Amino acid sequence: MVTATGSTEGMNCAQGTCACASAGTLRVAVLVSGRGSNLQALIDAQRRGGMPIELVLVASDKAQAPALRRAERAGIATLALDPRGYTTRAAFDADLFARIGALAPDLIVLAGFMRIIDPAALAPWQGRIINIHPSLLPKYPGLHTHARAIAAGDPTHGATVHYVTAQLDGGPAIAQAQIHIVPGDTPDTLAQRLLAHEHELLVACVDLIARERVRLDGTIVKLDGVALRHPLCIGGDQSPAA
Please compute, for residue 211, the number of CA atoms within 13 A of its CA located in the half-sphere on the CB side. Answer: 12
Calpha distance 90→36 (Å, rounded)? 25
Calpha distance 5→125 (Å, rounded)? 25
Please compute, for residue 32, the number of CA atoms within 13 A of its CA located in the half-sphere on the CB side. Answer: 25
Tell me the residue length of the chain: 242
At 116, is the secondary structure helix, strand, or coil? coil
Other Cβ atoms less than 10 A from the Cβ of 39: the count is: 29
157 is a catalytic site residue: no
Q: Which residues of 40-63 are buried (b: 16+ CB within 10 A; e: fewer)?
A: bbbbebbeeeebbbbbbbbbbbbe
Q: Which of 133, 146, 157, 199 is catalytic?
A: 133
- Contact indicator for 240, 158 with CB cutoff of 8 Å: yes
DSSP for 9-77?
A: GGEE--TT--SPPPTT-EEEEEEESS--HHHHHHHHHHHHS-S-EEEEEEEES-TT-HHHHHHHHTT--
Let me know how many helices (H) and strands (E) the chain has, helices first: 6, 12
Q: Which residues does the annotation mark as catalytic?
A: 133
